[in-house]
Chain A
Amino acid sequence: MAPSFDHLRDADVDEDDYDEDEIDISDLREKYEVQLEQGYDTFIVIDGLPEVTEEQKPKLVKFLLKKLTQVGKTKEDLIYMPMGKDGKSLRFAFVEFSSSAEAAAAVRQLDNVPLDKKHTLRVNKMTDIDRYGREGRVDDKYVPPKIEEFTEKEHLRYFLADPSGRGRDQFAMYRGDSVGVFWNGEKDTPETIVDRQHWTESFIQWSPLGSYLVSVHQQGVQLWGGASWSRQKRFAHPFVNMLDFSPGEKYIVTWSNRPISIPDEGHPQLSLDEDGKNYVIWDVETAKPLRSFANLDLPAAAATADGAKPPPKFPWPAFKWSADEKYVARLTQGSSISVYELPRMNLLDKTTIKIDGVMDFEWAPATPQREGVKQYEQLFCYWTPEIGSNPAKVGLMSIPSKQIVRTLNLFSVTDAKLHWQSDATYLSVKVDRHSKSKKSQATTLEIFRIKEKGVPVEVVDTIKDTVINFAWEPKGDRFVIITTSEPAGPTAVPPKTSVSFFCPEKAKGQAVGNFKHLRTLEKKNSNAIYWSPRGRFVVVATVANAQNSDLEFYDLDFEGEKPESDKDLTANLQLMNTADHYGLTDIQWDPAGRYVASWASVWKHTMENGYHIYDFRGEQLREEPVEKFRQLAWRPRPATLLSKEEQKQIRKNLREYSKQFEQEDAERGASADLAVVEARRRMLDEWLAWRASVDAEVEEERLDRGLPANPVEGLIDQPEDEEEQQVIEEIVEEVIEETEEIVS
């Protein structure tokens, strides 16, 4: 029975047994005692203020207050600005906030904020000044930092030296719960280099030069590399969703949709500065965060016709890198672009670039070389929609000068997409235009010739339909587009598409002629374009489509006869091969442009997951169904170290080299065949030996038991009389052919 007041005996309520004062309640006291304000936790010190007189002081205080109230609660009379004997301020101020957290926030957010051109705020906690600023607090004696002993790191590019001497490419496969890296074996089973269970939690990715394999975990991302596949770096961004490398893999951006929250006990890599942020930009070499950013508030997505609002789409990559990784920029849609300088991650010229209405921007993928421009520059292009009576605009801006190099006015624009050619020679702007009634759509391509004087723009306006896909030839000057007459609606069957090829006309000398339509293939289902990374070859495919799944391999420099109509064009189009890969969801070329992998990922559907490998001509080399196949990724290669001349030399002597390689291939094929035959011979021998041993054993056992050789001996009556046997003959007539002949 539970004790209740009624059942209490006198002994239970006897209070005289102990003395109240003797009870040790210090622990409770510590826990619950009201903390009186003490110390200077809520105070900050602002340095770097301009010198003001008594009259100017209230103005400055007011100005400061505006900034301070953005981060915490404070009042005018809580700002104390001491004045010197000469009646001028001493250029610093004390500020009290309502809580220490606000004071900390002020230090975080206001430190290093420019007040005007001459003055930059330096904000510190009062307690910090107390701690470090006093005499004697910092040791006078210089203690040199301990330099860690040099340990040789693993060679991150060892993989370029294929042990078999064949220059094979590697690829990573993520299937089931395991991730493996393999040498491409063409027709043969890929040779395993490493295979680990639970290597990653969500996906894998290669760094852009192939040095690292990235695994993604709840705790952050890890980089793996070297011959032993050891962990090279880790970036502990909790609940990371996405990551992006700079082009030279010096920096990495990680993003999580959950704001970072730094626990009280701290975080091994991140500091309080990162608290509440979504993006972290890291230095790969040191594995230290350079700067972090919070998500931008996204403009509310336009409500669709049925009133349902689509969830806001986070643009990815949010931070875009210039080709030489000197700058990284982020778009604030509709108002500005913020360009940061690396490695300090400070805002270029301390301000964002205001561009009214800016919708999108894109860095040139290579350092541009404009005619007549000598000094260093990076370029990015952007576009703005029509605002009021102002036309839509496409602009090119040079960084760091922030000079607008070229603008182009456009009318009746619904949407625009920016496509740089890989050498930054051309920029194609795909402009979707609507007619005046806004009922019909058409697309024009505005092609900027970046390297030519004055950046001339060429317009391709012969396209009648909507362009749904566009792709430049890498390092080339041709492109492929896919168009459709009707926009892809909610119907189950996607509309038919057309694939068109464009190339420049032949021109004299070095010049590149006008872009001309080469050919259009109609009534297709294709929706994706994959150029070989070396150009010339292109795969046009239908991906992630329930009904169709074809791949078409085209050669744009076919060495056969050229049709008369194309004689002025710089391309000779030939369909080399078609293939079908049911349910394919992704396609990727290997970095050398020799092979194409296509795969059906379980992320999209569960039917016939697995991969195919084709050569560049579209000959299927390998087909492997793999259960729970998720992802395939070719390992990228860094740029070649050979000079232009050396490359030319190789191209010239290709025939000799190929002779050698062909011979090697043949030898290897023969030896592989030999190995297979040998293995079969061994299997056959083993089998026959096993059979012989079993036969002998069974025979012995049978004799031991005295059983007959035929277990049913004596059970079947042998027909005694031969005559009793009947022979049944069955005659089947079959009319093979019937001809009728009329005899006159």
Chain B
Amino acid sequence: MRPILLSGHERALTQIKFNPDGDLLFSVSKDQQICVWYAHNGERLGTYKGHQGAIWTVDVDPTSTMIASGSADNTMRLWEIKTGRLLKTWDFPTAVKRVEFSPDGRQLLGITEKRMGHLGTIVVLPIVLDVNAEQSDERDLTIVCDESKATVAGWSYLSKYIIAGHEDGSVSQYDAKTGELIDNIPIHELNMQVTDLQWSPDRTYFITASKDKTARLMAARDLELLKTYPADTPLNSACITPKKDYVILGGGQAAMDVTTTAARQGKFEARFYHKIFEDEIGRVRGHFGPLNTVAADPTGKSYASGGEDGYVRVHHFDKGYFDFMYEVERERQNRL
């Protein structure tokens, strides 16, 4: 499993995303540009320039037509993937920390930072999936997080709920139509920020990563805690692999503490856990800074990780990865 090292960024990575076909990989970093890469060979296709601050987040629409990005320059932007053309800029009073397209691509949610007297909000914007169409400035919905600001959020199956993870370690379920808060569960340790939230392919359940050194698998319909994956380091990101029942966790000593500890202390490894049995299966080393973001290829053939060290590493799985099976899994397969 020799990795492809993508060294196109000059500063720490903040998020990476595969498109639904798994052939393109989008990466954003604090160096103010968005890069797009061919996932299979690591060749850079191009960049999207325009942001004037660190970019915190990126998402691809389900048809791979356009991408949205959110940045510390207090804007959210929409780009055409094919040409790199800026389609639309939405201005906000504070930085945009997270964007995500709804499963049908007709809406886009964004999280704005709590700062300078502004509360953190989750906004929902209508999107017309046509590069030539005029995008609206009107918001479909604004959810104000007055308890604890949202750090991550996403759309559930059928765009039914918006699920958000908060700074205080809790997870909320909102009605995606009305914005009404349905439930809020303190799932991680108190005041241990939820750092990532990624979906299963069918969006019925999701994984959260937190600074409390655990990742948790939860059901979208009732926020039932399904699984817990304990690690020995604060986590920045977690994703669910399609095809195989694994989850990948990334994290490491907080960037500001790294220089004060020995290199072996860092724990800059991607950790694989079995999704159902909660066992740790293996680790992949390589980064020399904490992993800020991990992403699984929707086709299940590879995964990528982006680190504080400014590199993206794309790993294509070997045969062993696909062949590996627990005894009970093999048993079941043989029975079917």
Contacts and interface: CB of A to CB of B under 8 A. Distances in A.
B233 to A, nearest CB: 10
Nearest to A678: B328
Contacts of B160: 701
B324 interface: no
Contact of B104 (A683, A694, A712, A730): A712
Contact of A683 (B157, B158, B265, B277): B277
Given A607-B265, A698-B202, 6 more contacts: A625-B232, A684-B276, A695-B204, A711-B105, A711-B159, A712-B105
A149 to B, nearest CB: 50
Nearest to A626: B232
A712 B158 CA distance: 11
Contacts of B300: none
Contact of B158 (A582, A690, A695, A707): A707
Contact of A680 (B103, B219, B328): B328
Nearest to A705: B158
Contacts of B129: 715
Interface in A696-716: 697-698, 701-702, 705, 707, 711-712, 715-716
Given A680-B326, A694-B204, A694-B221, A711 B62 contact: yes
27 contacts: A582-B264, A607-B262, A608-B265, A625-B232, A677-B328, A680-B277, A680-B326, A680-B327, A680-B328, A681-B331, A683-B276, A683-B277, A684-B328, A684-B329, A684-B332, A687-B276, A690-B219, A694-B205, A694-B221, A698-B204, A705-B158, A707-B158, A711-B159, A712-B62, A715-B63, A715-B104, A715-B129
B334 interface: no
Given A607-B262, A625-B232, A715-B63, A681 B328 contact: yes
Interface in B57-108: 62-63, 103-105
Contacts, number: 59
Nearest to B279: A680
Nearest to A701: B158
B246 to A, nearest CB: 13
A449 B261 CA distance: 51
Contacts of A697: 221
B226 interface: yes
B327 to A, nearest CB: 6
B327 A698 contact: no
Given A683-B277, A690-B226, A698-B202, A715 B328 contact: no
Nearest to B327: A677
Contacts of A683: 276-277
A612 B262 CA distance: 20
B157 A698 contact: yes
Contacts of B262: 607
Interface in A419-472: none
Contacts of B105: 711-712, 715
B21 to A, nearest CB: 10
A694 B158 contact: no
Contacts of B265: 607-608
A702 B261 CA distance: 52
A695 B329 CA distance: 20
Interface string B24-44: 000000000000000001000
Nearest to B204: A694
Nearest to B261: A607
A681 B159 CA distance: 33
A712 B63 contact: yes
Interface residues of A, number: 24
Q: Most chain-B Cβ atoms within 10 A of its Cβ — which of A582, A607, A683, A697?
A: A683
Q: Most chain-B Cβ atoms within 10 A of its Cβ — which of A677, A680, A701, A702?
A: A680
Contacts of B277: 680, 683-684
Interface in A544-586: 582
Contacts of B276: 680, 683-684, 687
Contacts of A684: 276-277, 328-329, 332
Nearest to A716: B63
B100 to A, nearest CB: 14
Contacts of A701: 158, 160
A586 B233 CA distance: 24
Contacts of B62: 711-712, 715
A582 B262 CA distance: 11
Contacts of A690: 219, 226
Contacts of A716: 63
B63 A694 contact: no
B103 A711 contact: yes
B190 to A, nearest CB: 16
Closest 4 CB pairs of A and B: A711-B104, A712-B62, A711-B103, A681-B328
Contacts of A694: 204-205, 219, 221
Q: Most chain-A Cβ atoms within 10 A of its Cβ — which of B129, B159, B261, B276?
A: B276
Interface string A667-686: 00000000001001101100
Contacts of B226: 690
A229 to B, nearest CB: 28
Interface string B127-164: 00100000000000000000000000000011110000
Interface string B253-279: 000000001101100000000001100
A707 B62 CA distance: 16
A290 B104 CA distance: 83
Interface string A41-66: 00000000000000000000000000
Q: Most chain-B Cβ atoms within 10 A of its Cβ — which of A582, A690, A698, A712?
A: A712
A208 B105 CA distance: 71
Nearest to B226: A690
Contacts of A681: 328, 331
Nearest to B38: A730
Nearest to B160: A701
Nearest to A680: B328
Contacts of A625: 232
Interface string B265-304: 1000000000011000000000000000000000000000
B117 to A, nearest CB: 37
Interface in B306-336: 326-329, 331-332
B127 to A, nearest CB: 11
A680 B261 CA distance: 38
A551 to B, nearest CB: 17
Nearest to A697: B221
A701 B158 CA distance: 9
A596 B328 CA distance: 36
Interface in B229-250: 232
A702 to B, nearest CB: 6
Contacts of B41: 730
Nearest to B41: A730
B15 to A, nearest CB: 22
Contacts of A715: 62-63, 104-105, 129
A46 B205 CA distance: 89
Contacts of A711: 62, 103-105, 158-159
B158 A702 contact: yes
Nearest to A687: B276
A683 B228 CA distance: 13
A707 B106 CA distance: 13
A730 B105 CA distance: 33
Interface string A308-350: 0000000000000000000000000000000000000000000
Contacts of A677: 327-328
A514 B6 CA distance: 69
A607 B265 CA distance: 8
Interface string B185-225: 00000000000000000101100000000000001010000
A687 B265 CA distance: 35
Interface in A577-627: 582, 607-608, 625
A251 to B, nearest CB: 44
Interface string A392-427: 000000000000000000000000000000000000
Contacts of A582: 264
